[in-house]
Chain A
Amino acid sequence: MLLVRCPWCGDRDEAEFRYGGQADVDYPADPHQLDDAAWGEYLFVRANPAGSFDERWVHTAGCRRWFSLVRDTATNEMRPDIPRRREGR
């Protein structure tokens, strides 16, 4: 089981969290400007690296807050300089 560091509650078992996938996927600033390909890409395509990945988690069985962290998807190592909170969120 992964040990996930919640920025507010500290290290907790993965089972307390839900996963949110790639971080920083913003809603398009002007959706009307998007053609079908760009809209499809926004809806369906996410990065899928084998390595460093910025991702979202929510501490459902704890403080219930969302946060981002960086995990290596090949080794599950989570970087020590994280977790972080995104500015302005």
Chain B
Amino acid sequence: MVADGNTPAPPERLWRNPEPKRNYDVVIVGAGGHGLATAYYLARNHGLTDIAVVERGWLAGGNMARNTTIIRSNYLLDASAALYDHALRLWEELHEELDYEFHFSQRGVLNLAHTEQEVRDARRRAFANELNGVDAEWLTPDEISEVCPILNTSNLRYPVLGATYQRRAGIAKHDLVAWGLARKCDEMGVDFIQNREVTGFVTDGDRVTGVRTDSGDIGAGRVGLAAAGRTTLLTDTLGVRLPLQSHPLQAMATEILEPVHPCVVMSNHVHVYTSQAHKGELVLGAGVDTHNGYAQRGSVHVIENQLAAAVELFPVFARAHLLRTWAGTVDVTPDASPIIGPTPYENLFVNCGWGTGGFKATPGAGWVFAHTIATGEPHPLNEPYGMERFTSGALIDEHGAAAVAH
């Protein structure tokens, strides 16, 4: 790998690859960002280190490797602002704590409004953010042009009427986040068991006593699921029915270009979001492919629509070459908010339903999920996020802040 002055050299071996022990205090299913962060905070905050993280593929090869790394906390509702801003505050200190640079760049996010109704909704969200202590500003088109000069605000079918701006938002290098967390967990004694698929559970009444895997059982005092798009395949084996639908979510990157794009721009209305990665690729994405799917691939018309929107918003992108498109499998809930909490099995806990937007929550999700696993009770921040909200009706409807905007 060529060092570009910006990215560190590729890592030495950062974690062991041990054979699993027969039993652990805690088994976490899934070594994505959330599984890693959960193991980290279990050790750091709760003194639990007898932990295995079991991963069917390779460490952080799922959505953690595929996301577009947008980090922000400008969600509408109180429960969401609290959860996501807590995560953002953790991001602000995490790299020092891990002693591992992952290039968290707080370059700001613009969420564009293209219709009068969007202007009203966006301003309402900015006011709500301010009341919740989340930094938010409303920018006029002229002010937007100062922040992002390459953005076309007026010469397009749906002119940009304004935008919310969160300065503390930004991007980070996802792989480095995962490696930094994994290295620290490994130092604290956490075992990563890669290439081992969890296929079900060993149960005793309303307790799980271990996980079944494709090569033998592993005993567990507690089990935490951080399996993202494949969660229901596991919970279905216990008859625990979760309101999740797994969809392909695609993204794409161009060749490496000179720095032209200073921030993150998201548009729900014309349906695209863009940023420029540290190395220089333009990174684009939008919403899910509408059908359910586990194939980690999506359809080309979805890409085509996003590119059309991107080129209208950023005429300068027209001559960039698209190099790669890819997809992950994301677990979407009916209210576009995650499910984090206990299950009918007293020592089985779920963290799922982060859908298109869980990267930004990585440390926060780990923090509250670790608390939930360690104490058996939700942390105050994830108390509203239990699966019982789909029975009580106390939904946390974040479609406005979460649809295209990841």
Contacts and interface: CB of A to CB of B under 8 A. Distances in A.
B and A form one assembly: yes
Interface in A1-17: 1-2, 13-15
A66 B53 CA distance: 44
B390 A48 contact: no
Contacts of B391: 36-37, 40
A70 to B, nearest CB: 12
A55 B293 contact: no
Nearest to A1: B299
A55 B243 CA distance: 17
A14 B300 CA distance: 10
Given A15-B301, A45-B242, A48-B232, A53 B292 contact: yes
Contacts of A48: 232, 236, 244-246, 292
Contacts of A50: 230, 233, 246, 294
A55 B290 CA distance: 12
B22 interface: no
B245 A46 contact: yes
A11 to B, nearest CB: 15
Contact of B292 (A13, A21, A40, A44): A21
A22 B300 CA distance: 23
B243 A45 contact: yes
A21 B291 CA distance: 7
Binding site of B, secondary structure by majority: helix, strand, loop or mixed? loop
Interface in B237-294: 241-246, 290-294
A74 B294 contact: yes
A46 to B, nearest CB: 6
B375 interface: no
Contacts of B393: 36, 40
A2 B295 CA distance: 12
A1 B290 contact: no
A81 B243 CA distance: 30
Interface residues of A, number: 26
Contact of B295 (A13, A45, A75): A75
B290 A18 contact: yes
A43 B299 CA distance: 28
B311 to A, nearest CB: 19
A1 B291 CA distance: 12
Interface in B357-406: 390-393
Contacts of A43: 334, 390
Chain A CB within 10 Å — which of B246, B292, B300, B301 has the most? B292
B391 to A, nearest CB: 4
A73 B241 contact: no
A38 to B, nearest CB: 9
Q: Of residues B232, B244, B294, which shows the largest number of chain A Cβ atoms within 10 Å of its Cβ? A: B294
B293 A76 contact: yes
A49 B230 CA distance: 9
B300 A1 contact: yes
B291 A45 contact: no
A71 B232 CA distance: 18
A19 B299 CA distance: 13
Nearest to A41: B241
B392 A73 contact: no
B244 to A, nearest CB: 6
Nearest to A14: B299
Interface in A30-86: 36-37, 40-41, 43-46, 48-50, 53, 55, 71, 73-76
B273 to A, nearest CB: 21
Interface of A: 1-2, 13-15, 18-19, 21, 36-37, 40-41, 43-46, 48-50, 53, 55, 71, 73-76
Report, nearest first, the 8 A-B pairs whose CB atoms are least far apart: A44-B243, A19-B290, A40-B391, A50-B294, A15-B301, A48-B232, A1-B299, A44-B390
Given A14-B299, A45-B241, 4 more contacts: A1-B299, A48-B232, A73-B293, A74-B295
18 contacts: A2-B291, A18-B290, A19-B290, A21-B292, A36-B391, A36-B393, A37-B391, A40-B393, A45-B242, A45-B390, A46-B243, A48-B232, A49-B233, A49-B236, A50-B230, A73-B292, A73-B293, A76-B295
